[in-house]
């Protein structure tokens, strides 16, 4: 197939950089336009960007002139890694102009007319795009910590019916962006507060596991209690879950539901899709960020220590790569799914 031209909004930021790194040599997409603030616009990308990735800037983009968010764009798909302080209005402007925005920003996540997509779970939610007031559309992916939790909750909710979730996170410093958390605050320390994070975790997964009715998304009705902590780990968010169910499962039943879980990205063999989206470990001391976040190129959710809970029903530890599956990689997989389901063709 002829590659689809895409743009990256917020191209000089850390999420934008991750988009660019993951899109290099992508079989579906060609990075055609780089868009950033007026401060960076008009400069060659290598000059405008303080590159922080563990790969080189793609050679074809080094001298690409950065465009302003005020300019018209040629690309049909726009990957947004913009800061939430400016993302909402800019994303809407481009959606009204006929572009499809695949956003990592929080601004539109809880709008019932905007799908909050994890394509293994709720690809049917793409349908609400047709009811949006735009010539194009806006699709979002979840908060990074919600991403891994929802991946685990989805197959368990379908099999056993979730009633309550208690989750405690140990979140990597890369989740704070660049320059992130001061070294004097985080080294040898745990910070028991991340602004807005607990609130996101307590509502986003219910929307993801919800249903579409009359063109809007109705959230699932289980309850989530979240406590979020920043820890001195560079990449990889670890979370401990305690779950209660409508039908209490066995430990083996939970493991079977998780290991057998697949979705549309796996059925269609999409480029960014992990063959097995959930990896279950039997070792007592896994998963670990230093050893497991790059399993399946950072696109799988890792689960271990699944056992009975004498207060709830089942407890476990989960782990995911927060800047790959929890951010840019998730958005790219969303775009691959959008294309594979024919939404761009339907839009003409």
Q: Each residue of 80-108: pLDDT tens digit?
A: 999 999 999 999 999 999 999 999 999 99
Confidence (pLDDT) at 248: 96
Which superfamily does 4-143+328-346 belong to?
A: NAD(P)-binding Rossmann-like Domain (3.40.50.720)
Residue 271 above 90 pLDDT? yes
Which residues are 213's β-sheet partners? Answer: 216
Q: Where are the domains of the chain?
A: 4-143+328-346, 144-321
Per-residue tokens: 138: 């806006």
CATH pick for 144-321 out of 3.40.50.300, 3.30.360.10, 2.40.240.10, 3.90.79.10: 3.30.360.10
Q: Which listed residue (32, 108, 157, 237) is catalytic? A: 237
User: 223: helix, coil or strand?
Assistant: strand
144 has catalytic annotation: yes
CA distance 317 to 286: 8
* Average pLDDT estimate for 246-262: 98
Given pLDDT bands bounded at 50, 70 and 90, which one contains residue 1? confident
Q: Each residue of 183-216: pLDDT tens digit?
A: 999 999 999 999 999 999 999 999 999 999 999 9
CA distance 324 to 78: 18
How high does pLDDT run on average in the chain?
A: 96
Confidence (pLDDT) at 347: 57
Confidence (pLDDT) at 75: 98
Q: Each residue of 279-316: pLDDT tens digit?
A: 999 999 999 999 999 999 999 999 999 999 999 999 99
32 has catalytic annotation: no
Count Cα atoms within 13 angstroms, Cβ side, for 99: 25
Q: Interior CA angle at 275 toward 269 and 279, to 5°?
A: 155
Confidence (pLDDT) at 344: 87
Q: Which listed residue (144, 157, 228, 321) is catalytic? A: 144
The dihedral built from the CA positions of residue 294, 296, 54 and 339, taken in this order, carries a sign that is: negative
Confidence (pLDDT) at 348: 45
Given pLDDT bands bounded at 50, 70 and 90, which one contains residue 11? very high
* Average pLDDT estimate for 339-343: 96
């Amino acid at each position: 197939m002829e590659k689809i031209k895409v743009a990256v909004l917020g191209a000089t930021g850390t999420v934008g950089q991750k988009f660019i790194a993951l899109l290099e040599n992508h079989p579906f997409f060609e990075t055609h336009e780089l868009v950033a603030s007026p401060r960076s616009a008009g400069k060659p990308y290598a000059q405008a960007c303080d590159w922080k990735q563990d790969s080189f800037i793609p050679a074809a983009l080094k001298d690409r002139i950065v465009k302003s968010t005020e300019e018209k764009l040629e690309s049909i798909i726009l990957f947004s890694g913009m800061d939430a302080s400016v993302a909402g209005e800019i994303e809407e402007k481009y959606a009204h102009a006929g572009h499809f925005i695949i956003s990592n920003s929080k601004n539109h996540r809880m709008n019932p007319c905007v799908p909050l997509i994890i394509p293994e779970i709720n690809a049917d939610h793409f349908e609400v795009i047709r009811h949006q007031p735009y010539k194009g559309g806006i699709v979002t992916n979840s908060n990074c910590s919600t991403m891994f939790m929802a991946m685990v909750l989805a197959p368990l909710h379908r099999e056993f019916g979730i009633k309550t979730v208690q989750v405690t996170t140990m979140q990597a410093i890369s989740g704070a962006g660049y320059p992130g958390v001061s070294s004097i605050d985080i080294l040898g320390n745990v910070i028991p507060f991340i602004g807005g994070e607990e609130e996101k975790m307590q509502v986003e997964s219910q929307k993801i596991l919800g249903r579409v009715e009359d063109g809007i998304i109705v959230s699932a009705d289980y309850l989530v209690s979240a406590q979020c902590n920043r820890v001195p780990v560079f990449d990889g968010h670890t979370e401990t879950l305690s779950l209660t169910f409508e039908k209490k499962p066995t430990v083996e039943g939970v493991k079977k539901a998780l290991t057998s879980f697949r979705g549309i990205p796996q059925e269609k063999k999409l480029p960014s899709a992990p063959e097995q989206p959930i990896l279950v470990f039997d070792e007592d001391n896994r998963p670990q960020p230093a050893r497991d976040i790059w399993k399946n190129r950072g696109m799988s959710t890792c689960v271990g220590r699944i056992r009975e809970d004498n207060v709830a029903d089942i407890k476990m530890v989960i782990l995911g790569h927060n800047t790959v599956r929890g951010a840019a990689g998730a958005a790219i997989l969303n775009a691959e799914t959008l294309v594979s389901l024919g939404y761009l063709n339907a839009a003409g």
